[in-house]
Structure 1
Amino acid sequence: MRKLLLVFSVGLFFAACSPNNVKENKALGKYFDSAGVKGTFALFDNGAGDFTIYNLNRYKDSAYSPASTFKVVHSLIALETGVVSDEKMAIQLDSAVTMENAFKNSIVPYYQEVARRIGKDTMQLWLDSLQYGNHTIGKSIDSFWLNNTIKLTPDEQLGIMKRLFFNQLPFQKRTHEIVKRMMLRESNANYQLSYKTGLTYKENGDLLGWVVGWIEENKHPYFFVLNVEGPSNIPMEETRISLLKKILSNQGFFEGKR
């Protein structure tokens, strides 16, 4: 494993921006209301340096379990340490599962085994060096990202996405590129949409959902984070993607005109 010599914070992304570049869009609340959830959404226009945010306080001040969005950093660490050779490397579960498949389909047992192979000390070293959220593993190396032990803010999530896209995290370029390939979910003449989802339960029993990533139009990246929560009977898997696409469409995406 490469030695980590510098502390590299992935957070405080919003804090580095001018308030003049932040637009609070309360009108986006109608999409959350119609879905029966509460939450926050942020979009960062990298070219203009502008933020569009719904529910600013939740975006910058509240921390949550990353759930399966942790697979982004988890994959970076696994690749960088050599625990996983590339996205095609399989681990035998009930059947052979590759990292690419486990990433896109959120197959938890694959990443639990990867976490055990990385080991607590090495994992902690990377989380400390990244200053990833509260960088707390607790007692369980194979579940800390699911059980509300480690937490981070939506702002920190957005910072990770931007730095991943531009190969600015403390990993080799090859490591960045493999994870970015796994994140690409839709690609056509108008746009390329890359994201990772997450789903878990909060301490109060509510469902917590994430979608983090970016959308590119005309070779221009826009970074986003969607954080939602609602009652346990909500079909959160479908709700979060539907909500994301409605908001992005409202912001003028998917037609190749941005």
Structure 2
Amino acid sequence: MDTNLKQEEADQGNKPQTEPLDISNMQVDKYFPHNKGTFVMRDMLTNQTFIHNEERARKPQPPESTFKIVNALIGLQVGVVQDEYEVKRWDGVKRSRGEWNKDHTLGSAMRASAVWYYQAMARDIGKERMQEWLNKLNYGNKDISAGIDTFWLNSSLQISPLEEMEFLSRLVQEKLPFDNKHMKTVKRMLIQEEGDNYTLFGKTGTRNNPPAGWFVGFVESNYHTYVFAANIDGQGTVAPQKIKDLATDILKEYRIIEPNK
């Protein structure tokens, strides 16, 4: 084969997806041994939806730290924080993750998943306003009965992966009942990585008992947008990086984001 032709084929293999992906042809079973997880994805251009393990995809469970997306939107909308740069002072209590043990902004606390910052903001929002906004959003079962600063942490609030995908789809389209500037701010805070032709947005969430992990988000490219939610069981603690890697490996396989070179 001509050397130039070989190079062209190799280059094609490294290019991101440029045509709408036929989601019906996806195969992700190998990423979920023993079917202990789910992956759902929507092509926002065609509105086609892929579901791996529909039973798990419809099963409500605590959103864990993926709820920081909602918490940030509500906090900005009701004015308990003004922007992504608003600082909350660390209370001096040493917590399990070293990066939490310092002052944080709304944005840095999202990226570090600093629970204490968002717990403090939830208390500032208060029960009445928090309930009002979850009702407006129809977010999961809308149950905050376990306490204003704990209800999303392996507790009363429950949402399914398919519901998470629906919520994120409305965020992408900026069709949630928030000011557009606040939705744009939160989306900016969710940026995980950027390539030549795409931007990956996402948020992890994990729990220890029983161990499970989330990675939810969306990919915007020059051509179209995909929204996704991944959720897996784990042996021991599910590290946030593990569930993120699993989801991004799927996105790389189907050239939705660029594979590592």
Calculate the TM-score normalised by the size of structure 1.
0.83
Matched ranges for 1:163-242 at <5 A: 163-201=170-208, 205-233=209-237, 235-242=238-245
Structure 2 stretches of 5 or more lacking a match? 1-21, 93-101
Give the aligned residue type for 1:239. Answer: K
Task: Confirm or deny: 8 A CA contact 2:146 2:156 kept in the other structure.
Answer: no
Q: Equivalent residue for 2:52? A: 54
Runs of 4+ in 1 over 4 A off after TM superposition: none
Matches within 5 A, 1:68-217: 68-93=65-90, 94=92, 95-201=102-208, 205-217=209-221
Percent of pairs with identical residues: 37
Checking the alignment, whether the CA contact within 8 Å between 1:164 and 1:176 is kept in structure 2 is: yes
Partner of 1:16: none
Q: For residues 161 and 150 of structure 1, what CA distance do their matches in structure 2 show? A: 17
Distance 1:37 1:85 in 2: 43
Residue 194 of structure 1 aligns to a residue in which SS? strand
Q: Residue 237 of structure 1: CA displacement? A: 2.0
CA distance in 1, matches of 2:51, 2:76: 33
CA distance in 1, matches of 2:23, 2:246: 21
C-alpha distance in 2 between matches for 1:190 and 1:23: 24
In structure 2, distance between residues paired with 1:42 and 1:147: 21
Deviation digits for residues 74-102 of structure 1 (CA, Å, limit 9, x no counterpart):
00000000001000000111332101010
Distance in 2 (CA, whole Å) between partners of 1:62 and 1:147 is 14
Checking the alignment, whether the CA contact within 8 Å between 1:24 and 1:55 is kept in structure 2 is no
Task: For 1:192 and 1:238, locate their aligned partners in 2 and report how far apart those are by CA, in whole Å.
Answer: 18
- CA gap of 1:63–1:22, structure 2 versus 1, over 3 A, is farther
CA distances 1:22-69 after superposition (whole Å, capped 9, x unpaired): 8385x3111122xx871100111111221122111211x200100000
Equivalent residues of 2:202, 2:216 under 8 A apart: yes
- Counterpart-to-counterpart distance in 2, 1:186 and 1:87: 18
Go from structure 1 to structure 2 and tell me whether the alpha carbon gap of 1:24 and 1:200 turns closer, same or farther (over 3 Å shift).
farther
Once residues 255 and 70 of structure 1 are traced to their aligned partners in structure 2, the CA distance between those partners, rounded to angstroms, is: 28
Contact 1:128/1:135 (CA < 8 Å) preserved in 2? yes
- 1:232 deviation in Å? 1.6
Quickly say closer, same or farther: Cα 1:82–1:32, change in 2 above 3 A: same
Aligned residues: 228
The residue type paired with residue 221 of structure 1 is T
Measure, in 1, the Cα distance between the counterparts of 2:235 and 2:210.
5
2: distance between equivalents of 1:22 and 1:222?
Answer: 10
SS of the counterpart of 1:40?
strand
The gaps in structure 1 that reach 5 residues or longer are: 1-20
Q: Judge conservation of contact 2:134–2:142 (CA < 8 Å) in 1.
A: yes
Distance 1:81 1:129, change over 3 A: same
2: CA distance, partners of 1:140 / 1:255? 42
Q: Is the 8 A contact 2:146 2:155 kept in 1?
A: no
